[in-house]
């Protein structure tokens, strides 16, 4: 997140709570990490199928 005043920060989603990172090295690494996750992610339909298949394998 960028603001008009102050340094940029990164919000990392998690359970049961997220984290707010302000360390400059972490903030600088975040765009590359996000880009890598985006590039490796399944398409939405593929994600739904993978979740369904995994749930059936582990909970059936």
Report pLDDT for 60: 77
Q: State both tokens at 18.
A: 């997220």
pTM for the model stands at: 0.62
Q: Is the peptide bond before 27 cis (omega within 30 degrees of 0)?
A: no
What pLDDT score was predicted for residue 59?
86
Digitized pLDDT (tens) for each residue of the chain, 60 residues in all: 999 999 999 999 998 999 999 999 999 999 999 999 999 999 988 999 999 999 999 987
pLDDT at 23: 96
| Domain-wise residue ranges, the chain | 10-59
Looking only at the bridges linking them, the beta strands covering 10-12 and 19-21 are: antiparallel
């Amino acid at each position: 997140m960028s603001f008009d005043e102050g340094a940029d920060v990164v919000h990392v989603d998690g359970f049961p709570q997220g984290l707010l990172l302000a360390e400059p090295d972490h903030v600088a690494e975040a765009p590359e990490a996000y880009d890598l996750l985006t590039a490796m992610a399944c398409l939405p339909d593929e994600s739904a199928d993978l979740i369904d298949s995994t749930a059936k394998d582990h909970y059936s």
